[in-house]
Copies of this chain bind each other. A is one copy, B any other.
Amino acid sequence: MSKLGIKDIAAKANVSPATVSRVFSSPHLVSKKTLQKVQKVIDEAGYRPNRMGASLRTRRSGNIVAIIPDITKPVNAGIIRAIEQGAQSQGYSVLLGDTQGLEERERHYADLVGQGQADGILLFGDRIPFDIDPSRPLKEQIPPLVNGNERIDTDEIVQVAVDNVSASQAAIEHLLSLGHRRIAAVTGPDNVPSSNERLQGYTQALAKAGIDFDDKLLVQAEYDVETGMRAANKLLLLKDRPTAVFCFNDDMAIGVMKLLQQQGFNVPADVSVMGFDDIHYAEFVTPSLTTVHQPLEEIGKACINSLIKQLNGQEVEAGRRFLPFTLKIRDSTGPAPK
């Protein structure tokens, strides 16, 4: 492979290295004639500027790091894909930081910015992966960062997500409109802010409908299919069973449906099941899953665009930004049984 440097190209083209550099970074400053001459040499030699050299000098790596708990979750994968597209179209590359939810790994990846290997962070989590001195402004203590799809309790950083409270409320209202009164909720882990927000929407909607809150109808799970099944199991053991189950994500809803069907229940005739996220498979399980659609592509795009703005030195308004959700009414919800 070629080992040509900018000086070699400059020599071949009878210009200075500075001119070759300008051909790439500010061609408008180079005369047409020189431009063509240099370009020709570049093409013939297949010369590509070395990014490390450039980065060292410019103090910009051209990378952003995406810190994400688990790339195999369809929600995360969908967002990441959008991010990658947006980044690429603006000349950035994405470093993948799959953390398995481990704080140690979150910090490892966050540290890449300190090492000059990335210019900014796209975070999908509920904690800031830096040691923070609460007496000082947050912005001074962290690099450019956008938080997506989860909530961190501060208004000093940019956060992009759907309004979980409203979305959850809308979901419950859909079930109420079908005549359901005993509506169970399968929540995520209780230390996850988004789960708590969805829980808030659930209780608010019930209260508004004048339905007493029954904590027996609340089952905690881990946002995955297996624990969704276990949650359904618990609900079936109840003396007074729910007629509808709202799950705080689609994976758990799929698990709930699976277990109900295994036990001979008909969804939705016996029990309605509703999810949250609208992953691709939600439409294709049987029955197809009624759920809350999250605009993953828009979320990803909003995140990357906001981050790149910050990297370009533009001022970006901190605080939460909500993107619109929609209800996808499919076949897993129906009228409450008599």
A-B contact pairs, 19 of them (CB 8 A): A1-B141, A48-B111, A52-B55, A71-B71, A71-B84, A72-B77, A74-B74, A77-B77, A88-B108, A94-B95, A94-B96, A225-B281, A254-B281, A254-B284, A257-B286, A258-B284, A258-B286, A281-B285, A284-B285
Contacts A95-B94, A96-B84, A284-B255 given; does A117 touch B78 at CB 8 Å: no
Among A233-264, those with CB < 8 Å from B are: 254-255, 257-258, 261
CA distance A258 to B63 in the complex (A): 42
Contact of B280 with A51 in the complex, beta carbons under 8 Å: no
* A95 contacts across to B, CB distance below 8 A: 63, 93-96
Contacts A52-B52, A96-B94, A115-B51 given; does A88 touch B105 at CB 8 Å: yes
Contact of A85 with B114 in the complex, beta carbons under 8 Å: no
Copies in the complex: 2
CA distance A50 to B80 in the complex (A): 27
Number of A residues whose C-beta is below 8 Å from B?
A: 54
Judge whether A187 is part of the interface by a CB distance below 8 angstroms.
no
Judge whether A56 is part of the interface by a CB distance below 8 angstroms.
yes
Judge whether A127 is part of the interface by a CB distance below 8 angstroms.
no
Judge whether A12 is part of the interface by a CB distance below 8 angstroms.
no
* A78 contacts across to B, CB distance below 8 A: 72
Among A1-54, those with CB < 8 Å from B are: 1-2, 46, 48-53
Among A50-95, those with CB < 8 Å from B are: 50-53, 55-56, 61-63, 66, 70-72, 74, 77-78, 80-81, 84-85, 88, 93-95
Judge whether A179 is part of the interface by a CB distance below 8 angstroms.
no
Contact of B48 with A115 in the complex, beta carbons under 8 Å: yes
User: Interface readout for A208-249 with B: 1 if CB under 8 Å, 0 if not?
Assistant: 000000000000000001000000000000000000000000
Which of A50, A254, A261 has most B Cβ within 10 Å?
Answer: A50
Other A-B pairs, 8, CB within 8 Å; known A1-B143, A48-B114, A93-B112: A1-B141, A52-B117, A66-B96, A72-B280, A81-B98, A88-B108, A254-B284, A281-B285
Contact of B63 with A56 in the complex, beta carbons under 8 Å: no
CB distance from A321 to the nearest CB of B (A): 23
Judge whether A319 is part of the interface by a CB distance below 8 angstroms.
no
Judge whether A335 is part of the interface by a CB distance below 8 angstroms.
no
Judge whether A295 is part of the interface by a CB distance below 8 angstroms.
no
